[in-house]
Every structure is written in structure tokens, then in C-alpha cells.
Amino acid sequence: MFVDASALVAIIAGEPDATQLETRLVSAERRYASAVVAYEASLGIARSLTISTGNAEALVDDLLSQIHAEIIPITDEIGRGAIGAFERFGRGRHPARLNMGDCFAYACARALDVPLLFKGDDFSQTDIAVG
């Protein structure tokens, strides 16, 4: 399962659906993330909890470590997949309105051929498998 930043933020910030997301996360056989996910989640946590980006980054790193997430590199294939995701599902082009981070999460999940764990309804409007 590839973990989107939105799921990490929800879990770390203790949002109402955190328990459900965490249950789905820990039940996955393997968990993946990327540096883009860590970046986006760290900034989201800093905003949400009103803490420094360094402290937020530590919280994200701790969670990724606890769940034994494999951090995958952003390859040329994934970069091209993110461009394709924007073309199909990006803001101003599709109701899913995927942003840059979303497009990279989509492309990573697609490249790994795994479902995507996320919060919200943006990805559910695409063709990606839901984790």
C-alpha cells in the first residue's frame, strides 16, 4: 500500500478518522511512501499542530519508521506518471482536482501496482485502487 500525505496527517494529528486509517495502514502487507509524501505531510502537520517544520518532520519520520514504510525514489517513470495523472485528474481538468503531491502519490501507487491509502474524496474519483 502506498501512503498519501493526507493519511499521515490525519493519523498524526488525531483527526476523527485516524483510527480507521491507522487500522487499514497496519493491516497492509507492505507500506510505501516517498520523499514527496514526507515533505507534504511534514508541512501539513506543522500547519495543523502549529509546530515547527523540524518537529513535524520528526513526527512524520517516527510514524514512517514505526510502520516500516519503504521510502521509494522518484524515478523518471514516476515523474512521467505524475504528469500523466495531472493531465487526467489534475486541478482545472477533472473533478478529482489532484494537486502536485497527489499526482506523485498516484504515480507512485501506479508504478508499484499497489492500492493508495488517503483521506478525502479526491482519489476516489480516479481509477486508482483504494487501500
Pairwise CA distance, residues 118 & 14, whole Å: 15
Domain parsing of the chain, residue ranges: 2-123
pLDDT more than 90, % of the chain: 85
According to the model, what pLDDT value does residue 96 have?
Answer: 80
HSE-CB at 27 with a 13 A cutoff on CA atoms is 9
pLDDT digits (tens, 9 = 90+) for 75-117: 999 999 999 999 999 988 888 889 999 999 999 999 999 999 9
For residue 90, what are the β-bridge partners? 98
Beta strands in the chain (DSSP E): 2-3, 32-34, 70-72, 116-117
Q: What angle do CA 56, 57, 60 make, to 5 degrees?
A: 90
According to the model, what pLDDT value does residue 37 have?
Answer: 98
Residue type, 60: V
pLDDT digits (tens, 9 = 90+) for 64-86: 999 999 999 999 999 999 999 99
User: Is pLDDT at 55 greater than 90 in this prediction?
Assistant: yes
CATH 3.10.290.10 is the classification of domain 2-123: no
